[in-house]
C-alpha cells in the first residue's frame, strides 16, 4: 500500500508542476512521463496485462489532463501501452506453442479418438487399466497413437483472458483531449474459451488447473520484466533523440548558405551550432514578436561562432528571397502533416511557399501526434499570463492614461478649461 501511495504522490507532484508550468519543453515532459510509468510498472504487481494497461491508462489520463496541450505526454503513454500489448500478444503465442494439446484439441477435434472399447483393449494390452489413479500421459499416448510422450503436454494451458491478442486491450489506444480512449473490441468470452475446455479432461487435471489459477492471481504477470526493459529502451531513446538530429546537420547545410529561422528553438540552435563545425553559413533570425525570442536565439548563435543577423518579423517576406532554406522547431506534428508552432510561424511558411524555399521542421519522434488539427475534443492552444507580452508596469501606466482621458471626457464639459479644473 505504501508503494502505491508513493506512486500516487509522484504523479500528483508532477501534475502540480505541469499546472504551474514549472516544467517546460516537450522532451523534458516526455522523459518525466516515461520515468513515472516505469516506476508504476516496477513498484506494483499486476497479475495480468489488462490490469497493467488499466493502471497505465489511468495515470496517463491524469498527467495529460494536467496539461492537455503537451502532446508528448500522450505520445509516450501510447508507446508504453503498445509495448504492453505487444508483449501480451507474444506471451499468448508462446503459451499456445508450448502446449500442443491445446492446439491439437482446436485443430483436430474428436476425429481421431478411438472408441471406448478399443481404448480399453489397448489399455489391457499395455497393462495400464488400473482401478486407481490412471496415468493420464500414457492414456493420451495410446489415444493419439503414441505421438506424444511428454507428460507436460497434459497440463491445461493457463491462458489469461487479458493476455490474449483478441482482447480489448489489443486495440490501439488513442488520446483525445487529454483522455485515453480504447478502440479495441471486448472479446473476453472468446479468450476464456480458448484457454482450454475443462470438461474434456479428468477431475484431477481440473483441480490442478484451479489451483494454478488461484496461484496465478497472486503472482506477477510474466511479461512484466520484458515491458520494463522495453520502457528502459524508450527512455534511452529519448535521451539520444536530439543528438541523432544534431549529428545529421552537416548533411543538410552546405557552404555559404543562408538559413532563415524564426524565434528560439533549442533543437534548431543545437542543429546550427553543430553544423558550424564543418560549414560556413549565415543565419537570419526573425525576432518573433511579441515574445522576442529571436533576440536570444541570435545572441546564442553569435556566441557559438555562427554569423547571425536579427531582423524584424515584417522583413521576413523580403529576406525570404535570399534564403536557401528555412529551419524551425515545432511543438508537435499532427496526423495531417501540420505543425503546432509559436505565433507568427504561419506567415513564415506562407512566405517560403511563395518563394518556393524548402521549409524544414526539426522535431523528434516524441512530437509526432496521431491527432488531427480540427478535432473538437482537443485543445490546441494555451492561455498564458499577459505579462509575457505586456509588462504589468507598462499596462498600469496605460490604465492611468486611460483613466485621465476618461476623467477629462466625463467632467470636462465642452471646454478644455472645465476639463482642467475637473482634473
Q: What is the pLDDT of residues 339-394, one digit of tens each?
A: 999 889 999 999 999 999 999 999 999 999 999 988 777 777 777 777 777 777 77
- Using a 10 angstrom Cβ sphere, with 0-12 exposed, 13-18 middle and 19 or more buried, the burial of residue 299 is middle
Q: Using the predicted structure, report yes or no on whether residue 221 has a pLDDT greater than 50.
A: yes
Distance CA 166, CA 65 (A): 30
Contact by Cβ (8 Å): 287, 294: yes
Q: For the chain, what is the mean pLDDT? A: 74
Domain spanning 250-367, CATH architecture? 3-Layer(aba) Sandwich (3.40)
Q: Please state whether the predicted TM-score (pTM) of the whole model is above 0.75.
A: no
Place of cell 496541450: 69
Distance CA 173, CA 164 (A): 16
Q: pLDDT exceeding 90 applies to what percent of the chain?
A: 48
The pLDDT value recorded for residue 410 is: 46
Residue 285: CB atoms within 10 Å? 28
Contact by Cβ (8 Å): 57, 22: no
Res. 76 pLDDT band, cuts 50 70 90 = very high
Q: Using the predicted structure, report yes or no on whether residue 265 has a pLDDT greater than 80.
A: yes
The pLDDT value recorded for residue 116 is: 45
The pLDDT value recorded for residue 91 is: 85
- The domain segmentation of the chain, as residue ranges, is 2-99+155-238, 250-367, 391-422
The pLDDT value recorded for residue 148 is: 40
Q: Using the predicted structure, report yes or no on whether residue 6 has a pLDDT greater than 50.
A: yes
Per-residue cell: 106: 482446436
Strand, helix or coil at 262?
strand
Where is pLDDT greater, at 210 or 368?
Answer: 368
The pLDDT value recorded for residue 39 is: 94
Contact by Cβ (8 Å): 309, 246: no
**Of 134, 168, 167, nearest in space to 151 by CA:** 134
Tens-digit pLDDT profile for residues 135-182: 433 333 433 444 444 434 333 344 444 444 334 333 334 444 333 433
The pLDDT value recorded for residue 267 is: 93
Tens-digit pLDDT profile for residues 237-264: 999 999 999 999 989 999 999 999 999 9
The pLDDT value recorded for residue 205 is: 38
The pLDDT value recorded for residue 64 is: 94
- Rounded mean pLDDT, 43-61: 93
Q: Using the predicted structure, report yes or no on whether residue 130 has a pLDDT greater than 70.
A: no
Please state the φ and ψ torsions of residue 189, each to the nearest 5 degrees: -65, -45
The pLDDT value recorded for residue 376 is: 78
Q: Using the predicted structure, report yes or no on whether residue 289 has a pLDDT greater than 70.
A: yes
Per-residue cell: 87: 508483449
Burial 398-418 (b: 16+ CB within 10 A, else e): eeeeeeeeeebeeebeeeeee
Q: Using the predicted structure, report yes or no on whether residue 32 has a pLDDT greater than 70.
A: yes
Q: Report the range out of 2-6, 342-346, 393-397 with the highest average pLDDT.
A: 342-346
Per-residue cell: 120: 480399453
Tens-digit pLDDT profile for residues 175-205: 443 334 333 333 333 333 344 443 333 343 3
- Rounded mean pLDDT, 281-287: 96
DSSP letter string, 3-20:
HHHHHHHHHHHHHHHHHT
Q: Which fold has domain 2-99+155-238?
A: 1.20.120
Amino acid at each position: 500500500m505504501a508503494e502505491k501511495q508513493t506512486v500516487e504522490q509522484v504523479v500528483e507532484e508532477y501534475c502540480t508542476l505541469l499546472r504551474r508550468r514549472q516544467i517546460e519543453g516537450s522532451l523534458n515532459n516526455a522523459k518525466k512521463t516515461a520515468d513515472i510509468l516505469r516506476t508504476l510498472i516496477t513498484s506494483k504487481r499486476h497479475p495480468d496485462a489488462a490490469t497493467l494497461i488499466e493502471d497505465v491508462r489511468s495515470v496517463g489520463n491524469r498527467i495529460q489532463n494536467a496539461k492537455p496541450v503537451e502532446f508528448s505526454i500522450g505520445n509516450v503513454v501510447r508507446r508504453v501501452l503498445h509495448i504492453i500489448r505487444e508483449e501480451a500478444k507474444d506471451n499468448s503465442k508462446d503459451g499456445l506453442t508450448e502446449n500442443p494439446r491445446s492446439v491439437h484439441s482446436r485443430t483436430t477435434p474428436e476425429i481421431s479418438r478411438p472408441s471406448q472399447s478399443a481404448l480399453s483393449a489397448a489399455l489391457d494390452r499395455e497393462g495400464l487399466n488400473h482401478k486407481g489413479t490412471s496415468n493420464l500421459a500414457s492414456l493420451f499416448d495410446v489415444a493419439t497413437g503414441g505421438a506424444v510422450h511428454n507428460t507436460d503436454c497434459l497440463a491445461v494451458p493457463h491462458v489469461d483472458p487479458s493476455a490474449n491478442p483478441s482482447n480489448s486491450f489489443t486495440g490501439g489506444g488513442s488520446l483525445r483531449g487529454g483522455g485515453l480512449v480504447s478502440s479495441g473490441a471486448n472479446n473476453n468470452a472468446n479468450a476464456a474459451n480458448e484457454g482450454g475446455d475443462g470438461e474434456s479432461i479428468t477431475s484431477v487435471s481440473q483441480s490442478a488447473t484451479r489451483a494454478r489459477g488461484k496461484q496465478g492471481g497472486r503472482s506477477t504477470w510474466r511479461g512484466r520484466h520484458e515491458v520494463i526493459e522495453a520502457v528502459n529502451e524508450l527512455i534511452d531513446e529519448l535521451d539520444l533523440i536530439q543528438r541523432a538530429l544534431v549529428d545529421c546537420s552537416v548533411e543538410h547545410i552546405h557552404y555559404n548558405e543562408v538559413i532563415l529561422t524564426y524565434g528560439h528553438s533549442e533543437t534548431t540552435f543545437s542543429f546550427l551550432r553543430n553544423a558550424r563545425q564543418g560549414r560556413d553559413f549565415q543565419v537570419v533570425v526573425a525576432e518573433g514578436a511579441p515574445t522576442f525570442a529571436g533576440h536570444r536565439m541570435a545572441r546564442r548563435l553569435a556566441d557559438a561562432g555562427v554569423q547571425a543577423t536579427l531582423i524584424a518579423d515584417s522583413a521576413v517576406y523580403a529576406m525570404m528571397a535570399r534564403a536557401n532554406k528555412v529551419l524551425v522547431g515545432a511543438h508537435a506534428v499532427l496526423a495531417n502533416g501540420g505543425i503546432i508552432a509559436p505565433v507568427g510561424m504561419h506567415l513564415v511558411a506562407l512566405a517560403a511557399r511563395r518563394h518556393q524555399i524548402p521549409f524544414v521542421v526539426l522535431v523528434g519522434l516524441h512530437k509526432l501526434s496521431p491527432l488531427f488539427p480540427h478535432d473538437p475534443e482537443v485543445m490546441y492552444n494555451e492561455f498564458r499570463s499577459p505579462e509575457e507580452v505586456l509588462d504589468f508596469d507598462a499596462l498600469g501606466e496605460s490604465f492611468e492614461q486611460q483613466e485621465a482621458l476618461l476623467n477629462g471626457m466625463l467632467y470636462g464639459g465642452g471646454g478644455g478649461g472645465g476639463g482642467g479644473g475637473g482634473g
